[in-house]
Amino acid sequence: MNGRDVRSAGDSGSDPRPGWSGAVRLEGSGKTLLDVGRDRLLIAASLFALGFLILSGRLVEVALLGDSSASIVATAQRGGAAVTRMARADIIDRNGFFLATSLTTQSLYADARLVRDAAATMARLREVLPKLDGKTVRDKLASGRGFVWIRRNLTPRQVAAVNNLGEPALAFLAEQRRVYPHGALAAHVIGYAGIDNRGLAGIERAFDERLLGAPGEPLRLSLDLRFQHVLREELAAAVESFRAIGAAGVVLDVDTGAVAAMVSLPDFDPNRPGTGDREALFNRASLGTYEMGSTFKSFTVAMALDAGAIGIGDGYDTTEPLRLARHTIRDFHAESRWLSVPEIFIHSSNIGAAKMALAMGTERQRAYLDRFGLLGPAPIELPEVAQPLVPDPWRDINTATIGFGHGIAVSPIQLAAGIAALVNGGIRHAPSLLWRDADAVLAGVPAISPRTSRTMRQLMHLVVAHGTGRKAATAGYPVGGKTGTAEKIGENGYDRRRLVSSFVGVFPINRPRYLVLVLLDEPKGNDQTHGYATGGWTAAPVVGRVIARIGPLSGIAPVELPEPGEDSGTEPGMLRVNLDGSEIRLAAF
Protein backbone atom coordinates (compact mmCIF):
# COMPACT_ATOMS: atom_id res chain seq x y z
CA MET A 1 0.00 0.00 0.00
CA ASN A 2 2.00 2.91 -1.37
CA GLY A 3 5.16 1.67 0.29
CA ARG A 4 3.56 1.30 3.69
CA ASP A 5 3.16 -1.97 5.54
CA VAL A 6 0.45 -1.51 8.17
CA ARG A 7 -0.62 -4.47 10.12
CA SER A 8 -3.46 -4.60 12.65
CA ALA A 9 -3.97 -7.12 15.46
CA GLY A 10 -7.72 -7.10 14.85
CA ASP A 11 -10.44 -7.25 17.50
CA SER A 12 -9.98 -10.71 18.75
CA GLY A 13 -6.66 -10.13 20.51
CA SER A 14 -4.99 -12.88 18.44
CA ASP A 15 -3.37 -12.98 15.01
CA PRO A 16 -3.89 -16.04 12.88
CA ARG A 17 -0.69 -15.18 10.95
CA PRO A 18 2.57 -16.44 12.30
CA GLY A 19 5.21 -13.80 13.36
CA TRP A 20 2.69 -11.01 13.99
CA SER A 21 3.96 -8.85 16.89
CA GLY A 22 1.19 -6.22 17.18
CA ALA A 23 3.66 -3.19 16.70
CA VAL A 24 3.26 -0.27 14.27
CA ARG A 25 6.26 0.51 12.12
CA LEU A 26 6.83 3.42 9.75
CA GLU A 27 9.29 3.10 6.95
CA GLY A 28 10.30 5.12 4.01
CA SER A 29 9.21 8.81 3.72
CA GLY A 30 6.85 8.58 6.72
CA LYS A 31 9.65 7.61 9.03
CA THR A 32 11.84 10.44 7.75
CA LEU A 33 9.15 13.06 8.37
CA LEU A 34 8.61 11.84 11.90
CA ASP A 35 12.33 11.96 12.72
CA VAL A 36 12.69 15.50 11.36
CA GLY A 37 9.72 16.72 13.41
CA ARG A 38 11.04 15.15 16.55
CA ASP A 39 14.50 16.71 16.08
CA ARG A 40 12.96 20.13 15.52
CA LEU A 41 10.91 19.82 18.69
CA LEU A 42 14.01 18.88 20.67
CA ILE A 43 15.95 21.84 19.27
CA ALA A 44 13.11 24.28 20.01
CA ALA A 45 12.71 22.94 23.52
CA SER A 46 16.45 23.30 24.11
CA LEU A 47 16.41 26.88 22.90
CA PHE A 48 13.45 27.74 25.12
CA ALA A 49 15.20 26.15 28.09
CA LEU A 50 18.41 28.07 27.37
CA GLY A 51 16.52 31.35 27.09
CA PHE A 52 14.70 30.64 30.33
CA LEU A 53 18.00 29.94 32.10
CA ILE A 54 19.53 33.21 30.78
CA LEU A 55 16.54 35.28 31.87
CA SER A 56 16.45 33.58 35.25
CA GLY A 57 20.14 34.24 35.78
CA ARG A 58 19.73 37.89 34.84
CA LEU A 59 16.81 38.29 37.24
CA VAL A 60 18.87 36.77 40.04
CA GLU A 61 21.80 39.09 39.21
CA VAL A 62 19.60 42.19 39.29
CA ALA A 63 17.87 41.10 42.49
CA LEU A 64 21.08 40.30 44.36
CA LEU A 65 23.65 42.68 42.89
CA GLY A 66 21.59 45.50 41.43
CA ASP A 67 21.58 46.65 37.85
CA SER A 68 25.09 47.87 37.12
CA SER A 69 23.85 49.54 33.97
CA ALA A 70 20.90 51.30 35.61
CA SER A 71 22.44 54.70 34.96
CA ILE A 72 22.62 54.10 31.21
CA VAL A 73 19.53 55.39 29.48
CA ALA A 74 20.52 54.69 25.89
CA THR A 75 23.54 54.12 23.71
CA ALA A 76 23.65 54.96 20.03
CA GLN A 77 26.18 53.57 17.60
CA ARG A 78 26.59 55.61 14.44
CA GLY A 79 29.57 55.54 12.19
CA GLY A 80 31.73 53.90 14.84
CA ALA A 81 31.03 56.56 17.51
CA ALA A 82 29.20 55.57 20.69
CA VAL A 83 27.20 58.15 22.59
CA THR A 84 26.00 57.38 26.12
CA ARG A 85 23.41 59.38 28.01
CA MET A 86 23.24 58.88 31.78
CA ALA A 87 20.38 59.52 34.16
CA ARG A 88 20.95 61.29 37.50
CA ALA A 89 18.98 60.95 40.70
CA ASP A 90 16.71 63.80 41.76
CA ILE A 91 17.84 66.15 44.53
CA ILE A 92 15.09 67.16 46.97
CA ASP A 93 14.83 69.39 50.03
CA ARG A 94 13.91 68.15 53.50
CA ASN A 95 10.19 68.33 52.65
CA GLY A 96 10.50 66.45 49.37
CA PHE A 97 10.38 69.41 46.97
CA PHE A 98 12.50 69.10 43.84
CA LEU A 99 15.77 71.02 43.77
CA ALA A 100 17.15 69.22 40.71
CA THR A 101 15.66 66.67 38.34
CA SER A 102 16.24 65.28 34.85
CA LEU A 103 14.09 65.50 31.74
CA THR A 104 14.39 63.54 28.52
CA THR A 105 15.12 65.81 25.57
CA GLN A 106 16.06 65.32 21.92
CA SER A 107 19.52 66.24 20.65
CA LEU A 108 20.35 66.68 16.99
CA TYR A 109 23.28 64.94 15.30
CA ALA A 110 24.34 64.25 11.75
CA ASP A 111 26.04 61.50 9.75
CA ALA A 112 28.34 63.74 7.74
CA ARG A 113 29.02 60.94 5.28
CA LEU A 114 25.47 61.33 3.99
CA VAL A 115 25.67 65.10 3.54
CA ARG A 116 25.88 66.05 -0.14
CA ASP A 117 26.22 69.81 0.26
CA ALA A 118 27.41 70.99 3.70
CA ALA A 119 26.78 74.68 3.00
CA ALA A 120 23.25 74.11 1.75
CA THR A 121 22.39 71.81 4.67
CA MET A 122 23.79 74.31 7.11
CA ALA A 123 21.75 77.11 5.53
CA ARG A 124 18.54 75.09 5.83
CA LEU A 125 19.34 74.30 9.48
CA ARG A 126 19.92 77.97 10.23
CA GLU A 127 16.39 78.71 9.03
CA VAL A 128 14.89 76.61 11.88
CA LEU A 129 17.74 76.98 14.39
CA PRO A 130 18.92 80.56 13.86
CA LYS A 131 21.34 80.55 16.83
CA LEU A 132 23.58 77.89 15.33
CA ASP A 133 27.18 78.88 14.66
CA GLY A 134 27.22 78.69 10.86
CA LYS A 135 30.94 78.09 10.37
CA THR A 136 31.20 75.46 13.09
CA VAL A 137 28.17 73.55 11.80
CA ARG A 138 29.34 73.73 8.20
CA ASP A 139 32.75 72.35 9.16
CA LYS A 140 31.13 69.47 11.04
CA LEU A 141 28.83 68.64 8.14
CA ALA A 142 31.79 68.63 5.76
CA SER A 143 33.99 66.50 8.04
CA GLY A 144 32.94 63.15 6.59
CA ARG A 145 32.60 61.68 10.08
CA GLY A 146 29.87 59.23 10.95
CA PHE A 147 28.66 61.15 14.01
CA VAL A 148 28.80 64.90 14.75
CA TRP A 149 26.71 66.87 17.23
CA ILE A 150 24.70 69.74 15.82
CA ARG A 151 22.57 70.98 18.74
CA ARG A 152 21.80 69.50 22.16
CA ASN A 153 18.50 69.58 24.05
CA LEU A 154 16.02 70.84 21.47
CA THR A 155 12.43 71.77 22.22
CA PRO A 156 9.60 69.69 20.69
CA ARG A 157 8.83 72.54 18.30
CA GLN A 158 12.47 72.65 17.14
CA VAL A 159 12.49 68.86 16.66
CA ALA A 160 9.40 69.11 14.46
CA ALA A 161 10.95 71.91 12.41
CA VAL A 162 14.13 69.91 11.78
CA ASN A 163 12.12 66.81 10.82
CA ASN A 164 10.21 68.88 8.29
CA LEU A 165 13.49 69.59 6.48
CA GLY A 166 13.52 65.96 5.34
CA GLU A 167 17.30 65.77 5.46
CA PRO A 168 18.36 62.07 5.68
CA ALA A 169 21.72 62.88 7.26
CA LEU A 170 20.05 64.38 10.36
CA ALA A 171 18.75 62.35 13.29
CA PHE A 172 17.99 62.66 16.99
CA LEU A 173 19.08 61.02 20.21
CA ALA A 174 17.13 61.06 23.44
CA GLU A 175 19.26 62.59 26.23
CA GLN A 176 18.86 63.48 29.88
CA ARG A 177 18.90 67.21 30.58
CA ARG A 178 19.42 68.44 34.15
CA VAL A 179 16.75 70.91 35.23
CA TYR A 180 16.67 73.17 38.30
CA PRO A 181 13.02 74.15 38.87
CA HIS A 182 13.79 77.00 41.28
CA GLY A 183 16.51 78.64 39.22
CA ALA A 184 19.00 80.62 41.29
CA LEU A 185 17.26 80.01 44.64
CA ALA A 186 19.78 77.44 45.89
CA ALA A 187 22.36 77.67 43.10
CA HIS A 188 25.53 77.64 45.20
CA VAL A 189 24.39 74.66 47.25
CA ILE A 190 23.02 72.49 44.44
CA GLY A 191 25.63 73.51 41.87
CA TYR A 192 25.04 72.27 38.34
CA ALA A 193 25.78 69.47 35.88
CA GLY A 194 27.40 69.89 32.49
CA ILE A 195 26.02 69.00 29.10
CA ASP A 196 27.46 65.49 29.50
CA ASN A 197 25.35 65.11 32.68
CA ARG A 198 28.35 65.05 35.03
CA GLY A 199 28.33 67.23 38.15
CA LEU A 200 30.57 70.30 37.93
CA ALA A 201 29.86 72.22 41.15
CA GLY A 202 28.10 72.06 44.50
CA ILE A 203 26.17 68.98 45.58
CA GLU A 204 26.00 67.86 41.96
CA ARG A 205 29.77 67.51 41.92
CA ALA A 206 30.26 66.29 45.49
CA PHE A 207 27.78 63.42 45.00
CA ASP A 208 28.29 62.84 41.27
CA GLU A 209 28.88 59.07 41.55
CA ARG A 210 26.00 58.63 44.00
CA LEU A 211 23.59 60.54 41.74
CA LEU A 212 24.63 58.52 38.68
CA GLY A 213 24.86 55.17 40.45
CA ALA A 214 21.38 55.22 41.97
CA PRO A 215 19.18 57.29 39.64
CA GLY A 216 15.99 55.98 41.22
CA GLU A 217 16.87 57.11 44.75
CA PRO A 218 16.49 60.88 45.39
CA LEU A 219 19.23 62.61 47.38
CA ARG A 220 17.53 64.41 50.26
CA LEU A 221 19.12 67.57 51.61
CA SER A 222 18.63 69.41 54.89
CA LEU A 223 17.62 72.60 53.07
CA ASP A 224 14.12 73.93 53.62
CA LEU A 225 13.02 75.72 50.44
CA ARG A 226 10.79 78.04 52.47
CA PHE A 227 13.70 79.18 54.65
CA GLN A 228 15.90 79.43 51.57
CA HIS A 229 13.40 81.72 49.85
CA VAL A 230 13.05 84.00 52.87
CA LEU A 231 16.80 84.29 53.42
CA ARG A 232 17.58 85.00 49.78
CA GLU A 233 14.81 87.57 49.44
CA GLU A 234 15.89 89.49 52.56
CA LEU A 235 19.56 89.37 51.59
CA ALA A 236 18.81 90.63 48.09
CA ALA A 237 16.79 93.53 49.50
CA ALA A 238 19.67 94.42 51.85
CA VAL A 239 22.24 94.28 49.05
CA GLU A 240 20.13 96.70 47.03
CA SER A 241 19.36 99.00 49.96
CA PHE A 242 22.97 99.28 51.15
CA ARG A 243 24.59 98.95 47.70
CA ALA A 244 26.75 96.06 48.91
CA ILE A 245 28.95 94.17 46.47
CA GLY A 246 27.77 90.85 47.85
CA ALA A 247 26.24 88.99 50.76
CA ALA A 248 26.10 85.60 52.45
CA GLY A 249 23.62 84.03 54.81
CA VAL A 250 23.11 80.79 56.72
CA VAL A 251 20.26 79.27 58.74
CA LEU A 252 21.57 76.45 60.92
CA ASP A 253 19.94 73.98 63.31
CA VAL A 254 22.06 74.50 66.43
CA ASP A 255 21.41 71.02 67.84
CA THR A 256 22.35 69.00 64.75
CA GLY A 257 24.42 71.23 62.46
CA ALA A 258 21.85 70.74 59.67
CA VAL A 259 21.90 73.64 57.21
CA ALA A 260 18.32 74.78 56.63
CA ALA A 261 19.32 77.59 54.25
CA MET A 262 22.51 78.86 52.63
CA VAL A 263 22.66 81.84 50.28
CA SER A 264 25.46 83.64 48.47
CA LEU A 265 24.91 86.80 46.43
CA PRO A 266 25.38 87.55 43.62
CA ASP A 267 24.20 84.18 42.34
CA PHE A 268 23.41 82.54 39.00
CA ASP A 269 20.87 80.36 37.22
CA PRO A 270 22.18 76.76 37.27
CA ASN A 271 20.04 76.05 34.20
CA ARG A 272 22.41 78.42 32.36
CA PRO A 273 25.65 78.50 34.39
CA GLY A 274 27.60 79.84 31.44
CA THR A 275 25.82 83.17 31.77
CA GLY A 276 27.18 83.75 35.31
CA ASP A 277 30.39 85.70 35.80
CA ARG A 278 33.17 84.79 38.22
CA GLU A 279 31.68 86.76 41.10
CA ALA A 280 28.28 85.14 40.65
CA LEU A 281 29.73 81.62 40.62
CA PHE A 282 31.72 82.23 43.83
CA ASN A 283 30.13 80.77 46.98
CA ARG A 284 30.74 83.39 49.68
CA ALA A 285 29.09 81.26 52.36
CA SER A 286 31.58 78.36 52.25
CA LEU A 287 34.44 79.45 49.98
CA GLY A 288 34.76 83.08 51.04
CA THR A 289 36.97 83.91 54.03
CA TYR A 290 36.47 87.10 56.00
CA GLU A 291 37.77 88.78 59.10
CA MET A 292 34.49 88.62 61.00
CA GLY A 293 35.01 91.45 63.46
CA SER A 294 33.20 91.59 66.78
CA THR A 295 31.27 88.36 66.33
CA PHE A 296 34.59 86.79 67.38
CA LYS A 297 34.23 88.44 70.78
CA SER A 298 31.65 85.74 71.47
CA PHE A 299 34.43 83.15 71.32
CA THR A 300 36.81 85.32 73.34
CA VAL A 301 34.34 85.81 76.21
CA ALA A 302 33.27 82.14 76.14
CA MET A 303 36.78 80.73 76.24
CA ALA A 304 37.92 83.15 78.97
CA LEU A 305 34.94 82.28 81.17
CA ASP A 306 35.21 78.56 80.43
CA ALA A 307 38.93 78.43 81.20
CA GLY A 308 38.51 80.46 84.39
CA ALA A 309 40.79 83.23 83.11
CA ILE A 310 38.13 85.77 84.11
CA GLY A 311 34.84 85.86 85.99
CA ILE A 312 31.53 87.35 84.93
CA GLY A 313 31.97 90.12 87.52
CA ASP A 314 35.47 91.04 86.39
CA GLY A 315 36.45 93.58 83.76
CA TYR A 316 39.18 95.77 82.28
CA ASP A 317 40.10 99.42 82.05
CA THR A 318 39.38 100.72 78.55
CA THR A 319 40.14 104.38 79.28
CA GLU A 320 43.15 104.50 76.99
CA PRO A 321 43.92 102.73 73.70
CA LEU A 322 45.95 99.54 74.03
CA ARG A 323 49.45 99.75 72.54
CA LEU A 324 51.35 96.62 71.56
CA ALA A 325 54.73 97.22 69.93
CA ARG A 326 53.97 99.39 66.89
CA HIS A 327 50.23 98.70 66.99
CA THR A 328 47.46 100.65 68.70
CA ILE A 329 44.06 99.10 69.45
CA ARG A 330 41.09 101.48 69.83
CA ASP A 331 37.35 101.18 70.39
CA PHE A 332 34.95 102.22 67.64
CA HIS A 333 32.59 103.87 70.14
CA ALA A 334 34.84 104.37 73.13
CA GLU A 335 33.29 104.25 76.60
CA SER A 336 36.68 105.37 78.01
CA ARG A 337 36.20 103.76 81.42
CA TRP A 338 36.44 100.49 83.28
CA LEU A 339 34.11 97.94 81.70
CA SER A 340 32.75 94.73 83.14
CA VAL A 341 32.78 91.56 81.05
CA PRO A 342 29.10 92.00 80.04
CA GLU A 343 29.78 95.65 79.15
CA ILE A 344 32.78 94.69 77.04
CA PHE A 345 30.51 92.25 75.19
CA ILE A 346 27.43 94.41 74.64
CA HIS A 347 29.36 97.64 73.90
CA SER A 348 31.74 95.62 71.69
CA SER A 349 34.98 96.96 73.17
CA ASN A 350 38.05 96.04 71.15
CA ILE A 351 40.35 97.08 74.00
CA GLY A 352 38.53 94.95 76.55
CA ALA A 353 38.38 91.91 74.23
CA ALA A 354 42.09 92.22 73.39
CA LYS A 355 43.03 92.34 77.07
CA MET A 356 40.80 89.35 77.74
CA ALA A 357 42.49 87.39 74.93
CA LEU A 358 45.94 88.25 76.26
CA ALA A 359 44.86 87.02 79.70
CA MET A 360 43.91 83.73 78.05
CA GLY A 361 47.24 83.40 76.27
CA THR A 362 48.06 82.23 72.76
CA GLU A 363 48.12 78.50 73.41
CA ARG A 364 44.74 78.35 75.14
CA GLN A 365 43.27 80.66 72.51
CA ARG A 366 44.42 78.39 69.71
CA ALA A 367 43.18 75.29 71.51
CA TYR A 368 39.68 76.73 71.96
CA LEU A 369 39.48 78.05 68.41
CA ASP A 370 40.35 74.57 67.22
CA ARG A 371 37.51 73.15 69.34
CA PHE A 372 35.16 75.60 67.66
CA GLY A 373 36.29 74.32 64.24
CA LEU A 374 37.88 77.62 63.18
CA LEU A 375 41.42 76.49 62.33
CA GLY A 376 40.60 74.04 59.53
CA PRO A 377 38.20 73.86 56.56
CA ALA A 378 34.52 73.44 57.39
CA PRO A 379 33.61 69.72 57.06
CA ILE A 380 30.58 70.38 54.88
CA GLU A 381 29.58 68.32 51.84
CA LEU A 382 30.67 70.80 49.19
CA PRO A 383 33.77 70.90 46.99
CA GLU A 384 33.88 74.70 47.37
CA VAL A 385 35.26 74.99 50.91
CA ALA A 386 37.88 77.49 52.06
CA GLN A 387 40.93 76.99 54.22
CA PRO A 388 40.82 79.60 57.01
CA LEU A 389 43.59 82.19 57.11
CA VAL A 390 45.44 82.08 60.43
CA PRO A 391 48.61 83.89 61.54
CA ASP A 392 51.98 82.19 61.27
CA PRO A 393 53.83 82.90 63.49
CA TRP A 394 51.13 83.55 66.09
CA ARG A 395 52.42 86.43 68.21
CA ASP A 396 50.91 88.41 71.08
CA ILE A 397 49.62 91.05 68.68
CA ASN A 398 47.78 88.27 66.77
CA THR A 399 46.30 86.93 69.99
CA ALA A 400 45.05 90.41 70.86
CA THR A 401 43.55 91.25 67.46
CA ILE A 402 41.95 87.81 67.07
CA GLY A 403 40.23 88.55 70.38
CA PHE A 404 38.07 91.13 68.53
CA GLY A 405 37.94 89.43 65.13
CA HIS A 406 40.88 90.75 63.13
CA GLY A 407 43.95 88.82 62.05
CA ILE A 408 42.05 85.60 61.32
CA ALA A 409 39.70 84.95 58.39
CA VAL A 410 37.07 82.20 58.32
CA SER A 411 34.06 81.33 56.18
CA PRO A 412 30.51 82.27 57.26
CA ILE A 413 29.53 78.59 57.60
CA GLN A 414 32.48 78.05 59.96
CA LEU A 415 31.45 81.00 62.10
CA ALA A 416 27.85 79.78 62.21
CA ALA A 417 28.84 76.28 63.36
CA GLY A 418 31.17 77.72 66.00
CA ILE A 419 28.57 80.11 67.41
CA ALA A 420 26.03 77.27 67.52
CA ALA A 421 28.34 75.45 69.94
CA LEU A 422 28.26 78.47 72.24
CA VAL A 423 24.49 78.30 72.72
CA ASN A 424 23.44 74.65 72.37
CA GLY A 425 25.02 73.41 75.58
CA GLY A 426 28.61 73.50 74.38
CA ILE A 427 28.67 70.83 71.63
CA ARG A 428 30.11 71.56 68.19
CA HIS A 429 28.38 69.74 65.36
CA ALA A 430 29.84 69.64 61.88
CA PRO A 431 27.62 71.63 59.51
CA SER A 432 25.85 69.33 57.06
CA LEU A 433 23.69 69.68 53.96
CA LEU A 434 22.37 66.11 54.11
CA TRP A 435 19.07 65.27 55.76
CA ARG A 436 19.37 62.86 58.67
CA ASP A 437 16.65 61.43 60.87
CA ALA A 438 16.83 62.26 64.55
CA ASP A 439 18.40 58.91 65.41
CA ALA A 440 21.05 59.29 62.71
CA VAL A 441 22.45 62.70 63.73
CA LEU A 442 26.22 62.56 64.04
CA ALA A 443 27.72 62.99 67.49
CA GLY A 444 29.29 66.35 68.25
CA VAL A 445 32.51 67.40 69.97
CA PRO A 446 32.50 69.16 73.37
CA ALA A 447 33.74 72.73 73.05
CA ILE A 448 32.71 74.46 76.29
CA SER A 449 30.83 73.49 79.44
CA PRO A 450 27.01 73.62 79.62
CA ARG A 451 27.34 76.29 82.32
CA THR A 452 29.42 78.55 80.07
CA SER A 453 26.96 77.95 77.24
CA ARG A 454 24.08 79.11 79.44
CA THR A 455 26.00 82.27 80.37
CA MET A 456 26.64 83.00 76.70
CA ARG A 457 22.92 82.71 75.93
CA GLN A 458 22.22 85.25 78.66
CA LEU A 459 24.89 87.64 77.39
CA MET A 460 23.74 87.34 73.78
CA HIS A 461 20.19 88.12 74.88
CA LEU A 462 21.58 91.18 76.65
CA VAL A 463 23.23 92.34 73.39
CA VAL A 464 19.84 92.44 71.66
CA ALA A 465 18.03 93.95 74.64
CA HIS A 466 20.57 96.65 75.57
CA GLY A 467 23.52 96.51 73.18
CA THR A 468 24.49 96.83 69.53
CA GLY A 469 21.98 94.21 68.36
CA ARG A 470 18.75 95.99 69.26
CA LYS A 471 17.53 96.09 65.68
CA ALA A 472 17.40 92.28 65.57
CA ALA A 473 14.70 92.12 68.25
CA THR A 474 11.63 90.21 67.02
CA ALA A 475 8.18 90.10 68.63
CA GLY A 476 7.28 86.61 69.83
CA TYR A 477 10.73 85.15 69.22
CA PRO A 478 13.34 86.21 71.79
CA VAL A 479 16.63 86.71 70.00
CA GLY A 480 20.20 86.64 71.23
CA GLY A 481 23.12 87.57 69.07
CA LYS A 482 26.26 89.53 68.34
CA THR A 483 27.16 92.20 65.82
CA GLY A 484 30.32 92.21 63.78
CA THR A 485 32.04 94.93 61.76
CA ALA A 486 35.49 94.48 60.23
CA GLU A 487 37.53 96.70 57.95
CA LYS A 488 38.83 95.09 54.77
CA ILE A 489 42.49 95.25 53.88
CA GLY A 490 43.36 97.63 51.07
CA GLU A 491 46.57 98.70 49.41
CA ASN A 492 47.66 100.74 52.44
CA GLY A 493 46.37 98.56 55.26
CA TYR A 494 42.86 98.49 56.69
CA ASP A 495 40.38 100.65 54.78
CA ARG A 496 37.64 102.21 56.93
CA ARG A 497 35.47 102.78 53.87
CA ARG A 498 35.29 99.07 52.99
CA LEU A 499 33.53 97.06 55.68
CA VAL A 500 32.32 93.51 56.22
CA SER A 501 29.23 93.91 58.39
CA SER A 502 27.51 90.96 60.00
CA PHE A 503 25.12 89.80 62.67
CA VAL A 504 24.59 86.31 64.06
CA GLY A 505 21.28 85.75 65.82
CA VAL A 506 19.87 82.76 67.69
CA PHE A 507 16.20 82.09 68.42
CA PRO A 508 14.46 81.44 70.66
CA ILE A 509 17.39 82.31 72.89
CA ASN A 510 15.88 80.62 75.96
CA ARG A 511 15.82 77.27 74.09
CA PRO A 512 17.86 77.77 70.92
CA ARG A 513 16.67 76.02 67.80
CA TYR A 514 18.01 78.00 64.83
CA LEU A 515 20.92 80.32 64.17
CA VAL A 516 20.68 82.99 61.47
CA LEU A 517 23.87 84.58 60.13
CA VAL A 518 23.86 87.51 57.72
CA LEU A 519 27.01 89.03 56.20
CA LEU A 520 27.08 92.08 53.93
CA ASP A 521 30.20 92.77 51.88
CA GLU A 522 31.02 96.49 51.64
CA PRO A 523 27.59 97.94 52.51
CA LYS A 524 27.13 101.71 52.33
CA GLY A 525 25.18 103.66 54.88
CA ASN A 526 21.95 105.40 53.88
CA ASP A 527 19.42 107.82 55.36
CA GLN A 528 17.76 105.09 57.42
CA THR A 529 21.09 104.18 59.05
CA HIS A 530 22.22 107.83 59.42
CA GLY A 531 25.15 107.00 57.20
CA TYR A 532 26.39 104.06 59.32
CA ALA A 533 27.27 100.79 57.60
CA THR A 534 28.13 98.73 60.68
CA GLY A 535 26.63 95.34 61.52
CA GLY A 536 24.16 96.71 64.06
CA TRP A 537 22.65 99.08 61.50
CA THR A 538 22.76 96.92 58.35
CA ALA A 539 22.90 93.18 59.15
CA ALA A 540 20.99 93.01 62.45
CA PRO A 541 17.68 94.25 60.97
CA VAL A 542 17.95 91.62 58.21
CA VAL A 543 18.34 88.85 60.78
CA GLY A 544 15.32 90.18 62.65
CA ARG A 545 13.16 90.11 59.51
CA VAL A 546 14.32 86.60 58.61
CA ILE A 547 13.46 85.32 62.10
CA ALA A 548 10.05 87.01 62.01
CA ARG A 549 9.26 85.15 58.76
CA ILE A 550 10.74 81.70 59.38
CA GLY A 551 9.69 81.51 63.03
CA PRO A 552 6.07 80.67 62.22
CA LEU A 553 7.20 78.27 59.46
CA SER A 554 9.41 76.38 61.90
CA GLY A 555 6.52 75.45 64.15
CA ILE A 556 8.12 77.15 67.15
CA ALA A 557 5.44 78.66 69.38
CA PRO A 558 5.90 82.38 70.11
CA VAL A 559 7.05 83.21 73.63
CA GLU A 560 7.80 86.37 75.58
CA LEU A 561 10.75 86.57 77.96
CA PRO A 562 11.26 89.12 80.71
CA GLU A 563 13.59 91.87 79.62
CA PRO A 564 16.99 91.87 81.31
CA GLY A 565 16.70 94.13 84.34
CA GLU A 566 13.15 93.17 85.24
CA ASP A 567 12.55 91.20 88.42
CA SER A 568 12.82 87.62 87.22
CA GLY A 569 13.04 85.97 90.63
CA THR A 570 15.93 84.11 92.13
CA GLU A 571 15.90 80.88 90.14
CA PRO A 572 19.17 78.95 89.82
CA GLY A 573 21.34 80.22 86.99
CA MET A 574 20.05 83.78 87.07
CA LEU A 575 22.88 86.31 86.62
CA ARG A 576 23.33 89.69 88.25
CA VAL A 577 25.71 91.83 86.25
CA ASN A 578 26.89 95.41 86.33
CA LEU A 579 25.76 97.37 83.31
CA ASP A 580 26.36 101.09 82.94
CA GLY A 581 26.30 101.69 86.69
CA SER A 582 23.25 99.54 87.41
CA GLU A 583 22.71 95.95 88.43
CA ILE A 584 20.92 93.99 85.73
CA ARG A 585 19.29 90.63 86.37
CA LEU A 586 19.51 88.10 83.54
CA ALA A 587 16.93 85.32 83.55
CA ALA A 588 18.24 81.77 83.55
CA PHE A 589 17.73 79.71 80.40
pLDDT of residue 39: 72
Decide: 171 and 111 in contact? Cβ < 8 Å. yes
pLDDT of residue 30: 61
* Fold category of 228-586 in CATH: Beta-lactamase (3.40.710)
Q: CA-to-CA distance for 418 and 184, rounded, in angstroms?
A: 28
Q: CA-to-CA distance for 73 and 216, rounded, in angstroms?
A: 12
Q: Which residues of 407-416 are buried (b: 16+ CB within 10 A; e: fewer)?
A: bbbbbbbbbb
pLDDT of residue 25: 55
**Alpha helices, DSSP H only, in 66-166?**
118-128, 134-141, 156-163
pLDDT of residue 577: 82
pLDDT of residue 585: 82
Decide: 406 and 300 in contact? Cβ < 8 Å. no
User: Global pTM?
Assistant: 0.82
Q: What is the DSSP letter of 556?
A: P
Q: CA-to-CA distance for 378 and 372, rounded, in angstroms?
A: 11
pLDDT in tens, the chain (589 residues): 444 443 444 444 444 444 444 445 556 666 666 666 677 777 777 777 776 776 666 555 544 444 433 333 344 444 433 344 568 999 999 999 999 999 988 999 999 999 999 999 999 999 999 999 989 999 999 999 999 999 988 999 999 999 999 999 999 999 888 999 999 999 999 999 998 889 999 999 999 999 999 999 999 999 999 999 999 999 999 999 999 999 999 999 999 999 999 999 999 999 998 888 899 999 999 999 999 999 999 999 999 999 999 999 999 999 999 999 888 999 988 888 999 999 999 999 999 999 999 999 999 999 999 999 999 999 999 999 999 999 999 999 999 999 999 999 999 999 999 999 999 999 999 999 999 987 777 789 999 999 999 999 999 999 999 999 999 999 999 999 999 999 999 888 889 899 999 999 999 999 999 999 999 999 999 999 999 999 999 999 999 999 999 999 999 999 888 777 655 555 667 788 878 778 888 877 7
Question: Which CATH number, 2.30.110.10, 3.30.930.10, 3.40.50.300, 3.90.1310.10, labels domain 75-221?
Answer: 3.90.1310.10
Decide: 423 and 509 in contact? Cβ < 8 Å. yes
Give the H/E segment covering residue 519: strand 514-521
* Diameter over CA atoms, the chain: 144
Decide: 334 and 322 in contact? Cβ < 8 Å. no
Decide: 376 and 413 in contact? Cβ < 8 Å. no
pLDDT of residue 14: 45
The single residue of 107, 264, 286, 294 carrying the catalytic annotation is 294
Same fold flag, 75-221 and 228-586: no
Q: Give domain limits for the chain.
A: 75-221, 228-586
Q: Name the E strands within 319-459.
A: 322-324, 327-329, 338-340, 427-428, 445-446
Residue 294 a catalytic site member: yes
Strands 480-490, 493-507: pairing is antiparallel
pLDDT of residue 7: 42
